[in-house]
Structure 1
Amino acid sequence: MTIWLISFFENTPIDDNQNTRYNSLVKEAMQRGHEVTFWASTFKHNTKSQRFDKKTTLAIQEGLTLQFVKSKPYQKNIGIQRLYSHYVLGKDIVKAMTAATQKPDVVVIAYPPISTAYEVVKWCKSNTVPVIVDVIDPWPELFEQKLKKLPQPLSKIIFSGQNKKAKYVFQKATAVTAISNQYLNWAKTYASQIKTACFYPAIDGATVEAQLLQASQSQSATPKVFKIIYAGSLGYSYDIPCILAAAELLKEEIGVEFVIAGLGPQVGLIEKAVKQLPNLKYLGRLSKEQLMEEYYTANIGLTQHTKGATQSVTYKLFDLLSCSLPIINSLESEMRDIIVDNKVGFHHPSGDAKALANCILLLKQNTELYNEMRHNAKNLFLAKGDSKKVYAQFLDFIEAQTNS
Structure 2
Amino acid sequence: MKIWLVTIGEPIFHPDNKLRLHRTGILSKYILENRKDVDVTWWTSTFSHFTKKQIFENTIDCKIGTNFKMIAINGGGYRKNVSFERIRDHNNVNEIFKKKILEEEKPDIIVSAFPTIGLCESAIAYAKINNIPILIDYRDLWPEVYIDLIPKPFKFLGKILLYPLIRRVNNIFLNATGVLGVTEGFLSIALRKAKRKKNQYDAVFPLGYLKNQYSEAELIKADNYWGTMLSNRAKLRICFFGAIGYQSDWDTIVTCIKIAFDQKLPVEFVICGSGDRLNELVSKTQNLDNVHFPGFVSASQIYSLMKLSDFGLCAFLSKENYLNAIPGKSIEYMSAGLPILNSLKNSELGQLITDFNIGFNYDDADSFLSVIKLALNSKFDKSQLKNNINKIYNNNFDSTTVYKNYLSHIENCISFYSEKKLKNY
Q: Partners in 2 of 1:153 and 1:233 — Cα distance?
A: 27
Mark the CA change 1:282 to 1:86 in structure 2 (over 3 Å): closer, same or farther. closer
Indicate which of 201, 204, 213 corresponds to 2:207: 201
**Does the CA contact (< 8 Å) of 1:18 and 1:24 recur in 2?**
no
Structure 1 residue runs of 4+, over 6 Å off? 147-155, 208-213, 215-220
**Does the CA contact (< 8 Å) of 1:363 and 1:369 recur in 2?**
no
Q: Partners in 2 of 1:262 and 1:77 — Cα distance?
A: 13
Q: Partners in 2 of 1:109 and 1:230 — Cα distance?
A: 29
Amino acid at match of 2:242: G
TM-score by length of 1: 0.86
Mark the CA change 1:201 to 1:338 in structure 2 (over 3 Å): closer, same or farther. same
**Does the CA contact (< 8 Å) of 1:90 and 1:117 recur in 2?**
no
Following TM superposition, by how much is the alpha carbon of 1:387 offset from its aligned partner in structure 2, in angstroms?
A: 0.8
Amino acid at match of 2:268: E
Indicate which of 104, 110, 113 corresponds to 2:107: 104
Q: Partners in 1 of 2:90 and 2:222 — Cα distance?
A: 44
**Does the CA contact (< 8 Å) of 2:136 and 2:176 recur in 1?**
yes
Q: Residue in 1 aligned with 2:328?
A: 315
**Does the CA contact (< 8 Å) of 1:208 and 1:322 recur in 2?**
no
SS at structure 2 position matched to 1:176? strand
Indicate which of 243, 264, 282 corresponds to 2:253: 243
| Aligned length, in residue pairs | 398
Q: Residue in 2 aligned with 1:302?
A: 313
Taking only the aligned residue pairs, the percentage that are identical comes to 25
Q: Partners in 2 of 1:292 and 1:151 — Cα distance?
A: 40
Q: Partners in 2 of 1:345 and 1:209 — Cα distance?
A: 29
Q: Residue in 2 aligned with 1:11?
A: 11
1:45-194, aligned counterparts within 5 Å? Answer: 45-100=49-104, 102-146=105-149, 156=160, 159-191=162-194, 192-194=196-198
**Does the CA contact (< 8 Å) of 2:112 and 2:120 recur in 1?**
yes
SS at structure 2 position matched to 1:12? coil
Q: Partners in 1 of 2:89 and 2:390 — Cα distance?
A: 41
Q: Partners in 2 of 1:43 and 1:282 — Cα distance?
A: 24
Following TM superposition, by how much is the alpha carbon of 1:6 offset from its aligned partner in structure 2, in angstroms?
A: 0.8
Amino acid at match of 2:258: E
Q: Partners in 1 of 2:331 and 2:149 — Cα distance?
A: 27
**Does the CA contact (< 8 Å) of 2:374 and 2:380 recur in 1?**
no
Mark the CA change 1:266 to 1:11 in structure 2 (over 3 Å): closer, same or farther. closer
**Does the CA contact (< 8 Å) of 2:237 and 2:270 recur in 1?**
yes
Mark the CA change 1:281 to 1:141 in structure 2 (over 3 Å): closer, same or farther. closer
Q: Partners in 2 of 1:75 and 1:239 — Cα distance?
A: 23
Amino acid at match of 2:182: I
Following TM superposition, by how much is the alpha carbon of 1:217 offset from its aligned partner in structure 2, in angstroms?
A: 8.1
Query: Could you list the per-position Cα deviations for residues 156-203 of structure 1 after superposition, in whole angstroms to 9, with x for gaps in the alignment?
Result: 5x6333223222211221211122222112101122324322212121
SS at structure 1 position matched to 2:350? helix
Following TM superposition, by how much is the alpha carbon of 1:391 offset from its aligned partner in structure 2, in angstroms?
A: 0.8
1:340-379, aligned counterparts within 5 Å? Answer: 340-349=354-363, 352-379=364-391
Moved more, 91-100 or 19-28: 91-100
Q: Residue in 1 aligned with 2:304?
A: 293
SS at structure 2 position matched to 1:71? coil
**Does the CA contact (< 8 Å) of 2:108 and 2:133 recur in 1?**
yes
SS at structure 2 position matched to 1:163? helix
Mark the CA change 1:128 to 1:271 in structure 2 (over 3 Å): closer, same or farther. same
Moved more, 168-177 or 87-96: 87-96
Q: Residue in 1 aligned with 2:25?
A: 23
Following TM superposition, by how much is the alpha carbon of 1:122 offset from its aligned partner in structure 2, in angstroms?
A: 1.5
Mark the CA change 1:77 to 1:344 in structure 2 (over 3 Å): closer, same or farther. same
SS at structure 2 position matched to 1:188? helix
Task: Please provide the CA RMSD for this pair.
Answer: 3.3
Mark the CA change 1:36 to 1:150 in structure 2 (over 3 Å): closer, same or farther. farther
Mark the CA change 1:367 to 1:163 in structure 2 (over 3 Å): closer, same or farther. same
Q: Partners in 2 of 1:53 and 1:168 — Cα distance?
A: 34
Q: Residue in 1 aligned with 2:419?
A: none
Following TM superposition, by how much is the alpha carbon of 1:135 offset from its aligned partner in structure 2, in angstroms?
A: 0.8
Q: Partners in 2 of 1:301 and 1:151 — Cα distance?
A: 32
Amino acid at match of 2:81: N
SS at structure 2 position matched to 1:227? strand
Moved more, 132-141 or 208-217: 208-217
TM-score by length of 2: 0.82
Q: Partners in 1 of 2:132 and 2:378 — Cα distance?
A: 56
Following TM superposition, by how much is the alpha carbon of 1:307 offset from its aligned partner in structure 2, in angstroms?
A: 4.1
Amino acid at match of 2:348: E
**Does the CA contact (< 8 Å) of 1:171 and 1:194 recur in 2?**
no
Q: Partners in 1 of 2:371 and 2:103 — Cα distance?
A: 57
Moved more, 82-91 or 294-303: 82-91
Moved more, 259-268 or 62-71: 259-268
